[in-house]
Amino acid sequence: MGQKRLLVAGNWKMNGLRADAELMAEGLASRCHAMGNVAVDIALFPPSTLLDYMARALDDTPVVVGGQDCHRAEKGAFTGDLSAWMLRDVGASYVLLGHSERRAGHAESSAQVKDKAQAAQAAGLVAIICVGENSSERDRGETLAVVGRQVQESLPAGATHANTIIAYEPVWAIGSGQVPSTEEIANVHGEIRRLLVKATGDDSGAIRILYGGSVKPSNAAEILGLGDVDGALVGGASLILDDFWAIVTAAVR
């Protein structure tokens, strides 16, 4: 387990103009080049307006890009939406699905997330399915039940380590500077691992499980050192080159 390859994913949310993308792409390219053998997977999730640009700008680097959401259909009369095939067409290899800001702000259910994950799979994208309890669910001691239900209801048929990743993101930890204890993270990741093994019948535990929610340079090494943590989903800190790179460096194995 000690030598597993980790994934650091940077979720820009609704942030970033062309100039920011240029700076980040140039900075990441030169740092990857200086590092030589980049023994960690790196993915960036810029807003869709920057996806095509960033995919091209990072073309010669190990850094790949993904979309922040997709529609369940391939195409059609869905004003304002983007399909998994469109993301793929401009160079995405990943898509984030069911982020809590979409579950809460756009009333996305786990059933919808599952449909989107199915579309991502069909389009050849790796889906990062986000799950996590909110603060009142946590206070009521429902964390494992809520997260377990979201995993079971969001996981598409045919999910494997090659097309699916789970990100555990406690809603109360996102953008708040608060982070669960390492025992809590280990506990939830262990439960997700158990459910994934049960659901997929794959006892190798190969589907990656990321932690997300206030991951910073100061706590990345400790969180990424946990046995069932296979990487990090980083929001705010992914907008700052030095911070994002410090987290990437902490994930090198």
**Token code pair at residue 99:** 């982020």
Residue type for position 217: P
A 10 A CB-CB count for 60 gives 10
**32 vs 167, beta carbon nearer ligand PGA:** 167
Binding region for ligand PGA (CB under 6 A) out of 51-59, 77-85, 184-192, 235-243: 235-243
* Strand runs labelled E in 55-172: 64-67, 92-97, 126-131, 164-168
**DSSP code of 237?**
G
Whether residue 169 lies in the annotated active site: yes
Contact of 137 with 180, CB cutoff 8 Å: no
C-alpha–C-alpha distance, residues 107 and 109, integer Å: 6
**Binding residue for ligand PGA (CB under 6 A) from 24, 235, 248, 250?**
235
Nearest 5 degrees, angle CA 233-CA 234-CA 240?
155
| Given 101, 108, 133, 169, the catalytic residue | 169
Let me know if 99 is a catalytic residue: yes
Assess 119 for contact with ligand PGA (CB under 6 A). Answer: no
Q: How far is the CB of 132 from ligand PGA (least distance, A)?
A: 9
Conformation bin of residue 79: beta by default, left when phi > 0, alpha when psi is -120 to 50: beta
Q: Which stretch binds ligand PGA (CB under 6 A): 59-67, 149-157, 211-219, 222-230?
A: 211-219
46 binds ligand PGA per the rule CB under 6 A: no
Catalytic residue among 99, 101, 108, 133: 99
Query: Is 95 a residue that touches ligand PGA (CB under 6 A)?
Result: no
Looking at the chain, how many residues does it have? 253
* C-beta nearest to ligand PGA: residue: 235
Is residue 231 involved in binding ligand PGA (CB under 6 A)?
no
Residues known to be catalytic: 99, 169
The residues of the shown chain that bind ligand PGA, judged by CB under 6 A, are 11, 169, 174-175, 212-215, 233-237
